[in-house]
Structures are given as C-alpha cells and as structure tokens.
Structure 1
C-alpha cells in the first residue's frame, strides 16, 4: 500500500532530469575526540552500520502504480541495503579541502536511484589535517534543506562527553533529554525548488484574502517598476547565470568568523544577512567582470525570508516568503552596494509587515513564477532573478557527535535552469559558511569567487573603519 505524496513533493520528482538533479546535500567536517584520530570516528560509524537500524524517514521509497493512477506515493518501511546507501571513500592526495570540494561536487552530480529510498551518505577519510568528512544527499521530495539540517542536528549534542549517540541514518534515541541532543531548529532553509513550491501552498489561503489581493498586487507591481524591494522583479538583466544547465556540478565553500560580519552590519545599521548579500554582490561583480560578462544593470537576487522573522504568525507550514534584492553590482564602491542592499531588503520587509501570510505567499508565488516556468522548460518574457542567496542562522554553541566536534558544515543546494548558481549560507558555532553550488558546464571554477568574497568582506571592513 502506498501512502499519498503531496503535490509539492511529487513536483520535485516530475521535474527531475539528468541535467537537473533535485537533491539537496551537505558536507560536515568532524575533528576526532582528543587522543583519537579519524580512524576512531570510522570505527564508531562502522559499529552503527553493523547495528543495521534505519530511521523511518530514510526507509520510504517513491513509487507509482496503476492503483495510484500514475501518481507518486510513498512505500514506507522498505528494507534498506546500508552497504549501498552508506559508503566509505578516501580522498586522493594531497587530501586538502580543494580535493574534498572536487570530490563532493562529483558526488552531488549523480542522480539518486529511484528503485531505493532516495538518499546516500559518504564517509570520507584521507584529509591531511586529520579530520573526517561526512557528505549526505537526500532527494527534495523526501526532505527539503530545513528537514535535512534538522536531521543532522538531531544527532548532535552540545556535550562533548555524550556517548552512545545514533548515526545520522539511525532512529533517534527516545530519551532525548538524557542525551542532551540539540533541538530541531525552526529556521527555514530554502532553495529554488522551495520557492517554486510557494505557489502550491499559496493557493490554500487565497480564498479568504480576495479583497486584499488587489491592493497587495498593485503595491508589488509598483515596487517592481521602481526596482524597489519586494517579492517581484521586472528588471533582472540577462546574464551568464540564467541559462539552461547540465547535470555536472561545481562546489566551493569557505567559512568566516561571524563576528566580522556582525561588526560590519552594526556599522551599517543593517543585518548580518545584508552583509551576506553585499559580500555576494561584490564577489559576483568581480567574478563576472573577470569573465567579461558583467551586465550593465544590477543583478537581482531571490532571497527567502521567514514570515516569523517579520512579525507574521504563519499557519500550516506557510512560513516562507521571498524578496527580490537589488545587488547593486553596477556600483563600484562596497559601501554603496551595502547601502543599496540594506535599503532594498528593508523596503521589502516593511511591505511584508502590512500584509497577511496569505498575501505574502501569493505575491511570492507571483515573483517566483518566472523561475518555476524556466525550470520546467516554459520560460516566458520575464527573466527570473539572477541568483538565489539563502542565509540560515544555525546553533551558536559547539556541537559534537560522540565526542567528535563538528568543525564545519557546508550546504549544497540545487542549481536549476534559469539559475546556474546557488549561494547558501549557514552558521555553526562562531562561524558562517558560504556554500556555492553551480552548473559545471555554465560557470568556470568557483575558487576565485571564494577569494572575491574574502576580498569584499575586507573592503567592507576597511570602509567601515574596522
């Protein structure tokens, strides 16, 4: 018997192709406990493999049949071959971060096997600094980025002396309090597919909001014409980022002390997210300019926001809105770019505060329509925003798995036709990590973009007198 699959989840299966894999992922780096090495972490993971226990979420297989009239459903409780889903890998010499990122990019390029539960995990040894890496990918139909992050955090503890903790694929221990596990985060991670799904969820709340839709739509269109902040853009320029993509991926990631971004934000009377966007703006400006491909008009970023963060009490999971941000890539001075980004985001958030959740979702659906159409090969006259940029605050304390400290967590997302680059950030402990996922065929190596991010943060600090 198949359990029903929501239309939103089935959309990710229907829209998947070899050129457009639809799984999210992440790579976590662990420092072995004091007095141990990476081999000790592998021994603990091998012990978990020998137990053969798998969490219910990871025992669901996507299927469709005559009895479901061809619609996708979930077959629960299927047997899982852990030797297929959990794999040991070793990095080639010299075993640095560059080799890790290249290896993870290749892993992220491959489609998941639909005859099995839609997830894989790779336990990666061979890093010269003694750390141990874990890469996981999970299909967006099975879990979105937020759920995948919660799955990871649910197996971590703030106590380095906690032992007997389950591996990521195992069921959680019932006595969560005794293990002092990290509670699930309410923060949302969103990518292009989450934003396309906004349209499906928005329809639920529109019926009771008809009278308020016309003023909301009028205000949204007026802001878009003025290139102001809001959920809709009519001015995204043509760029090398907004083309059909292939299935091969590039990935690059790096972390910075979050305190540096906080100080810049304070000086600019902005937020850490404003600084993330400004760093991305300056980095993209240099990156595209070096390719001779910088548009004259400013790039437009699609930025997911939590309705809870904007005074909205969302219902039934409708907690994601979207704003379009003017990245001001046509401006030469980093301070001017940051001010434009700050003002664009502030204007959009101010407008959100005057609207209901249903109105915000409906306007967000309108704004994401060009990207959704492009993803499914139905691109229209309005170009989608140039790039998706997500920033998700994470836990502020060090996290451990059986004494192994989580030293870095880099998110991998989903480039799609119409947006060949995705920038997703997340924070752990006292650092913020930028994960850059791109179409390998479309974009040149991403390492210079990381250097540009570092240069831009330095330029923002210098301009602020820090």
Structure 2
C-alpha cells in the first residue's frame, strides 16, 4: 500500500454486506429519479463534486487484506469514470427506461474502484431526464442514502465536510482493546448499580429468545415467487398514487398507513399467483423488512445501521379489509420485538467471522423469506436536483441469499411509489404485480368508503 494512501477499518456490518455479493444477487442499492425536464450534464457534475464528494466514502474503495477489510482512498479517482450519459431507444418511454434499469441492476459494480455509478438518461418521454444510481450496500443503507439525496437537493442540508481518515489500526488489537474497555466498564457499572443486572439479563434473554425463534422458523412455502436464481434482474414500478387517499383508508379501517400499504402489497402478490392459477388458500409468506436503527444525530452519515424483522403477509386472505386486519395483527406482534437489534448484532458478528460462517447464516435467513420489502417515508416536499424538479423517485435494496423478489414502497411529496425488482427467470413480469398493487389500493378505497357509509 502506498504510504500516502489513507485507510479506515470497515465495520463488521459493512463487511458483511460486502461479502454477500453474488453473481445472482449483486449487493447494490439501485435508485431511479425521474426528472421533470432535461438535466444539464455539466451542472450535474459540478453539483456532484461539491456535494456528493463531500462524503469522502464516495472517493474510497473497499479492499481486503489478510481477512480484514478497509476503506481505502482511490489514488486514481476520476468522477468521469462514475458518471455516464445514455440515451433510451425509441420511443423512450417507461418500458424502455425499465429495461435499462433492469440491465444496470444485473451488472455488478467494479470492485477495483469506488463502488458506485450514476447514469444520466436523456430523452426520457422526449422532454425529461432520469438518473439511475447504483451504490454497493456496504457503502450505505437506504436511510443514509436518503440523506445523501437531501444533500444533493437544492434546498437540502449541507453535506459533511471531508475529514481526515482515521489512522490505520494495528490488526486486531483495537477490537480487543474496545472489548476489554467495554467489559471493564460494564463490571464497574454493575458494582455501582447492581439493579442494572436485571436489565442486562432481560436483554440477554430477549436475544436468546429471538435466536430460538429464528432457528425455529419453518422454511418458506414453495411458490412461483421463489426459485433458482439467474444472472438477470427485472424491475417495474407503478405510477404514483395519492398519499392522502391511502391515509384515509387507514383512518376508516382504524389501522396505520403501513398496515394499508403492506396489505396492498400482499394483495398484489395474491392477485399475481391467482392469475397464474396457483393455489393461495391459507397461504402465508414472510418478507424481510429493514428497520432503521440510526440515531437522529449519527456521527457517521453513511454505513449500515439497520436491523431486520420477518413479517408474515396473509396472501391467502381474499377479503381486502380482513387482509389489512391480519397485517395489523402481525405488525402489532412485532411492535416490541428485539428482532431488529438482534439481527443488526448478528450481521456485525457475521462480518467479523470466517466467510463460510457468514454464508451459512445468510443462507439460513434467506430460506425463511420470500421477498425483501422496504417501506420508507421520503421527503414531504418536492426536491430539485441541479435546478430540475424530481418528479418521481424509486429505489430497491438487494435481495440477499436465494431471495428472488424485492419490493419498495416510498412516499414522496404527497404520493406513494411502489416498485419491484425480481429475478428475471423467477418473476418474468413484475410489472403485473405493480399494476395489481394500484388495483388493491383502489379496492381498499372502495371498501373503506363502504365501511364509512355503513
């Protein structure tokens, strides 16, 4: 390593996401921003130099060294290698954009460079532009990237000033020192406050309970939503839906906004299976839902600080209102669960363990879920990027292990966006599921109106 090259040790969680990379499931977060007008490429690059590159991580690449992983400055960093201009084939509409995003989502990032790329799509719907962003998950989670988007937006918060990278720690000694300090501190804390022992014991019991619960989960039922993965992805999204209308359904049914959105997603998956003449009676599937655990004033703006919960979706329930009630019950059961903290800790340990052990863990967790489903509240106001209004944002997190399907729900400026990313050989037509989601919201609106009038 060049003496002038700065290094910082990668966290266990970030290492875990880096090592989850597979040809069949690249560990990229893929985002699409549909813009209301044409975007000037020169102005975009100026913005990226000032605001995006203020996050020093986007100038760094992950490197492995004798089992340890580090963030290392790219000595040959060049923004031009990361920003590309592409034109859609005619007629340049939504199907052509979805095809392009599908191709990019199937293409791994270059591990020899900082692992992110931005494609400026010109001529979308003739007078508009779109941006396709791909970032490896080891760089940041969805909540962190939302803050990056706000930093890029014209009225967003300022990006952090680049600081000095931490000095290179000598091997495993810092980890041992931190563990020793933490253990010593805990010992004296318990001497001074013995009552806290009960709390720690309860936390340990909760962690044990979660580990037993995860191990005891039955494998997922066999459906066409699961299968052997290939190398190609397909993405699709529906047109934005009015957020106030969805909130009104929740009020009428005395449930939360999340209950309504997740029930609509379950209904869309049900409709897709029924359209293929599959048996759905009594069917329940699990989805992995990321839960943001980042502190409001987190010292590190990037990285991964989220846990996971396994949520049961009642796909077998035909009545849309009863499906909302069932989702609500499942959500309530998870409300005080320690699953998010437990899985975050599990990922941290996995990232510091031998790679084989991590792969077995990911395989185990993946066998207990059919899909990854994110539900993120986005900005309430419309944002502008390099002077152009963002009309519709969408993003998808990767699907780890053998999971073939990812669904994304994102609110933005009074609207709800729903999209899917799927293994192309398993779910060949995700656009049908996206269309069914919009239809399920319509059914719930009708049911809520009927409930209110009754």
In which range does the TM-score fall when normalised by the shorter chain?
0.7 to 0.9
Residue in structure 2 matched with residue 24 of structure 1 by the alignment: 29
Q: CA RMSD in A?
A: 3.9
Deviation at 1:13, TM superposition (A): 2.5
For residues 425 and 400 of structure 1, the distance between their equivalents in structure 2, rounded to whole angstroms, comes to 21
1:414 aligns with 2:398: yes
Pick the aligned partner of 2:341 from 337, 361, 365: 361
Residue in structure 1 matched with residue 43 of structure 2 by the alignment: 44
CA distance 1:375–1:123, shift in 2 (3 Å): farther
1:98 aligns with 2:88: no
Residue in structure 2 matched with residue 445 of structure 1 by the alignment: 429
Deviation at 1:392, TM superposition (A): 0.7
Q: Which runs of 5+ in 1 are unaligned?
A: 33-37, 160-164, 166-170, 175-203, 225-229
For residues 62 and 135 of structure 1, the distance between their equivalents in structure 2, rounded to whole angstroms, comes to 22
Residue 416 of structure 2 aligns to a residue in which SS? strand
Residue in structure 2 matched with residue 134 of structure 1 by the alignment: 131
Moved >6 Å (runs of 4+): 49-53, 312-319, 363-369, 372-375
For residues 387 and 78 of structure 2, the distance between their equivalents in structure 1, rounded to whole angstroms, comes to 28
Residue in structure 1 matched with residue 310 of structure 2 by the alignment: 324
Please identify, of 290-299 and 18-27, the stretch whose mean Cα deviation from structure 2 is larger. Answer: 290-299
Contact 1:156 1:401 in 2 (8 A): yes
Contact 1:237 1:383 in 2 (8 A): no
For residues 407 and 87 of structure 1, the distance between their equivalents in structure 2, rounded to whole angstroms, comes to 21
The structure showing larger relative contact order (alpha-carbon pairs under 8 Å, at least 6 residues apart) is 2
For residues 368 and 327 of structure 1, the distance between their equivalents in structure 2, rounded to whole angstroms, comes to 28
Residue 237 of structure 1 aligns to a residue in which SS? coil
Residue in structure 1 matched with residue 333 of structure 2 by the alignment: 347
Residue in structure 2 matched with residue 431 of structure 1 by the alignment: 415
CA distance 1:328–1:141, shift in 2 (3 Å): same
Residue 398 of structure 2 aligns to a residue in which SS? coil
Q: Deviations over 1:30-68 (max 9, x none)?
A: 113xxxxx1x5335236658999944221101223xxx4
Paired residues, what number?
402
What is the TM-score when the length of structure 2 is the normalising length? 0.77
For residues 363 and 51 of structure 1, the distance between their equivalents in structure 2, rounded to whole angstroms, comes to 36
Residue in structure 2 matched with residue 162 of structure 1 by the alignment: none
For residues 62 and 291 of structure 2, the distance between their equivalents in structure 1, rounded to whole angstroms, comes to 30
For residues 120 and 101 of structure 2, the distance between their equivalents in structure 1, rounded to whole angstroms, comes to 11
Deviation at 1:301, TM superposition (A): 2.3
For residues 438 and 304 of structure 1, the distance between their equivalents in structure 2, rounded to whole angstroms, comes to 18
Contact 1:21 1:109 in 2 (8 A): yes
For residues 49 and 306 of structure 2, the distance between their equivalents in structure 1, rounded to whole angstroms, comes to 40
Deviation at 1:437, TM superposition (A): 1.0
Residue in structure 2 matched with residue 63 of structure 1 by the alignment: 63
For residues 367 and 116 of structure 1, the distance between their equivalents in structure 2, rounded to whole angstroms, comes to 25
Pick the aligned partner of 2:10 from 2, 5, 8: 5
Please identify, of 378-387 and 289-298, the stretch whose mean Cα deviation from structure 2 is larger. Answer: 378-387
Q: Deviations over 1:413-456 (max 9, x none)?
A: 21233321011221211111112111112112111111110111
Please identify, of 376-385 and 439-448, the stretch whose mean Cα deviation from structure 2 is larger. Answer: 376-385
Q: Deviations over 1:2-42 (max 9, x none)?
A: 3211222222232212222111120101113xxxxx1x533
What is the TM-score when the length of structure 1 is the normalising length? 0.75
1:376 aligns with 2:359: yes
Deviation at 1:211, TM superposition (A): 2.0
Residue in structure 2 matched with residue 195 of structure 1 by the alignment: none
For residues 58 and 348 of structure 2, the distance between their equivalents in structure 1, rounded to whole angstroms, comes to 30
Question: What aligned pairs does 1:246-257 form with structure 2 within 5 A after superposition?
Answer: 246-254=230-238, 255-257=240-242
1:283 aligns with 2:263: no
Deviation at 1:380, TM superposition (A): 5.1
Deviation at 1:322, TM superposition (A): 3.6
For residues 8 and 204 of structure 2, the distance between their equivalents in structure 1, rounded to whole angstroms, comes to 39
Residue in structure 2 matched with residue 194 of structure 1 by the alignment: none
Contact 2:51 2:159 in 1 (8 A): no
For residues 20 and 363 of structure 1, the distance between their equivalents in structure 2, rounded to whole angstroms, comes to 20
Deviation at 1:240, TM superposition (A): 2.9
For residues 16 and 117 of structure 1, the distance between their equivalents in structure 2, rounded to whole angstroms, comes to 15
Deviation at 1:326, TM superposition (A): 2.6
Contact 1:62 1:74 in 2 (8 A): yes
Please identify, of 318-327 and 419-428, the stretch whose mean Cα deviation from structure 2 is larger. Answer: 318-327
Residue in structure 1 matched with residue 284 of structure 2 by the alignment: 298
Q: Which runs of 5+ in 2 are unaligned?
A: 162-181, 187-196, 350-354
CA distance 1:133–1:259, shift in 2 (3 Å): same
